[in-house]
Amino acid sequence: MTATRSETQKPLKVSQLHPCFSSGAHNKYGRLHLPVSASCNIQCRFCNRSFNRDEVRPGVASGILPHGEAVDTVRRALDLCPEITVVGIAGPGDTLASGSAINAFRAVHEAYPDLIMCLSTNGLMLPDRAEELADVGVRTVTVTVNAVDPEILEKIVAYIIFEGRRITGRPMGDILTRRQLEGIRKMKALGATVKVNSVLIPGINDAHIGDIARETGEAGADIFNIIPLIPQHEMAHITPPDCAMLQEARNEAGKYVDVFRHCKHCRADACGIPGISDFSGKLYNGREMETFSHG
């Protein structure tokens, strides 16, 4: 039998209530994703999302939840799944490329202060928005870090849009890595729990996972999650990692930081207990939601 929020709120810690930050909580508690973030500010070579524009898209894109509907969506999700302890925003674009995620968190945190607000981001804008995120109740943050070596990062990210400029090559790698590590340090200093996600890409970063875990661990990351590549876009020709490669990467990462092994690769509109219940169809009621998520 699963626990309800009212049975479990305090004195349990975030790490005990969050299905993605604790093996013990994984089968007990649920998370709701609000797909409010349409645009992105970088271009990963494995991502071909049509929303992935250089500029913030004006208005409300089809398949995106308007942030003004966030509170009502949370209320309906809790009716469907009272085990939800976490409201996450994980896509389908980057959560800090526009103000939608922070606006949604602000409204939800005010209405439901006991729920954990959880943000997942590529980290480019994290240093600039860290205080604001803490203010709107974000207590868990995931940063996707696919390399900490600019030469390797160049093979994974085509460009970033930073301070109004499109930046490629080595400067891109330097800026993105510096900002990701700085963002992790800032969120830790603000009391957040931080997870790092790495997409495992055979032939590109499979021998580099230990370095990522070491550097992000030194910056303060609490937990590390390895996501096997879904071959798409410029990486459509790459064979995804097999179980042995995934295991090896987890072993390497585990030398430096705790490894999370229960990830369900959720969609950006997921609702329920990961791997156990899924209410997103009922919740979003046939509306076509973008499904990509940074998790």
For ligand SF4, the binding residues (CB under 6 A) are 40, 42-44, 47, 49, 52, 93-94, 122, 294
Whether the CB-CB separation of 277 and 253 falls below 8 Å is answered with no
Residues with Cβ within 8 Å of 77's Cβ and at least 6 positions away in sequence, in order, are: 32, 84, 271, 279, 283
Q: Compose the 28-67 pattern: x for residues touching ligand CLF by CB under 6 A, - for all others.
A: ---x-x----------------------------------
Residue 86 contact, options ligand CLF, ligand SF4, none, Cβ 5-8 Å cut-off depending on partner type: ligand CLF
**What is d(CA 294, CA 144) in angstroms, rounded to the nearest whole number?**
7
Residues in region 272-291 near ligand CLF by CB under 6 A? 274
Taking residues 186 to 225 in sequence order and writing x for each that binds ligand CLF by CB under 6 A, - otherwise, the string is: ---------------------------------------x
Among candidate residues 27, 23, 37, 29, the one with its CA nearest the CA of residue 269: 37
Query: For residues 208 and 294, which CB has a smaller minimum distance to ligand SF4 in the complex?
Result: 294
Q: Which does 295 bind (CB under 5 to 8 A by kind): ligand CLF, ligand SF4, none?
A: ligand CLF
Q: Which of 266, 277, 285 is nearest to 82 (CA)?
A: 277
Q: Which is nearer to ligand SF4, 117 or 124 (CB)?
A: 124
Rule CB under 6 A: choose which of 85, 100, 120, 193 binds ligand CLF: 120
**Residue 150: is the preceding peptide bond cis (ω within 30°)?**
no
List the strands of the sheet with 157-162, edge to edge: 42-44, 157-162, 165-167
Task: Return the residue matching tokens 């860290």.
Answer: 130
Q: Which does 52 bind (CB under 5 to 8 A by kind): ligand CLF, ligand SF4, none?
A: ligand SF4
Q: Report the residue from 5, 14, 17, 20 that binds ligand CLF according to the rule CB under 6 A.
A: 20
Which of ligand SF4, ligand CLF, none interacts with 108 (beta carbon under 5 to 8 A by kind)? none
Minimum gap (Å) between residue 121 Cβ and ligand CLF: 9
- Asked whether 176 and 144 are in contact (CB, 8 A), the reply is no
Q: C-beta of 28: minimal distance to ligand CLF in Å?
A: 13
Q: From the CB of residue 291, how many other CB atoms can be counted at a distance below 10 Å?
A: 17
Contact present, 42 and 54 (Cβ < 8 Å):
no
Closest CB to ligand CLF among 20 and 136? Answer: 20
Confirm or reject binding of residue 118 to ligand CLF (CB under 6 A). yes
From candidates 166, 170, 265, 287, binder to ligand CLF by CB under 6 A: 265
Of the pair 125, 223, the CB lying nearest ligand SF4 is at 125
CA dist 102 → 7, 98, 267 (Å): 28, 9, 19
DSSP state of 86: E
HSE, side-chain direction, 13 A CA sphere, residue 185: 10
- Residue ranges in contact with ligand CLF by CB under 6 A: 20, 31, 33, 86, 88, 90, 118, 120, 142, 225, 263-266, 274, 295
